[in-house]
């Protein structure tokens, strides 16, 4: 099944307010959501739901393992090859963007964000 046929987005962020707001906007855009607050849990969610997940919205700065480790694990596993990974973070320095691209990130969305902008970007990314 290709990512374009899937409708579930995994939101990975350690800030509950960001997760709740993001989930609200995505549901308004007719997306199903799964949430995780850390890298370890995120990989468990990916393992359990990889056949449903179209895209992962992934924060970089989280306690314990960073979002970069999730990005690497997803992109280096053939089973997850159809899952798009979008870095979703306040880190917008050029070196952060370059590191994300080098590790295989499909796109980069910075916080703060508007709901309209978020939905528009995600729909655009999923059309690729």
pLDDT in tens, 30-60: 999 999 999 999 999 999 999 999 999 999 9
Give dist(CA 83, CA 52) in Å, integer: 9
Residue 31 falls within a domain, yes or no?
Answer: yes
Look at residue 127 in the predicted model and tell me its pLDDT: 92
Taking the model in full, what pTM does it have? 0.91
What is the crossing angle of helices 115-127 and 16-28, to 10°? 70
CATH number of the domain that 32 lies in?
3.40.50.2300
Q: For the chain, how many structural domains are there in total?
A: 1
> Does 22 fall in a domain?
yes
Regions of the chain short of the pLDDT cut 50: 1-4
User: What pLDDT is attached to residue 57?
Assistant: 98
Query: Does some domain include residue 89?
Result: yes
Res 5: pLDDT: 59
User: Is the residue at 128 inside a domain?
Assistant: no
CA distances from 49 to 17, 34, 63, 86 (A): 24, 9, 23, 17
pLDDT of residue 112: 86
What residue numbers bound the domain in which 73 lies? 3-123
Q: Residue 9 falls within a domain, yes or no?
A: yes
Q: Residue 33 falls within a domain, yes or no?
A: yes
């Amino acid at each position: 099944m290709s990512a374009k046929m899937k409708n579930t987005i995994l939101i990975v962020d350690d800030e509950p307010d960001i997760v709740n707001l993001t989930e609200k906007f995505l549901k308004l855009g007719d997306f199903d959501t799964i949430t995780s607050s850390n890298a370890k849990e995120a990989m468990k969610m990916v393992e359990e739901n990889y056949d449903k997940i179209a895209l992962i919205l992934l924060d970089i700065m989280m306690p314990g393992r960073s979002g970069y480790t999730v990005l690497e694990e997803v992109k280096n596993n053939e089973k997850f090859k159809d899952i798009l990974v979008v870095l979703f973070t306040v880190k917008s320095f050029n070196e952060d963007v370059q590191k994300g691209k080098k590790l295989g990130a499909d796109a980069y969305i910075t916080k703060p964000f508007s709901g309209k902008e978020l939905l528009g970007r995600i729909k655009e990314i999923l059309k690729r």
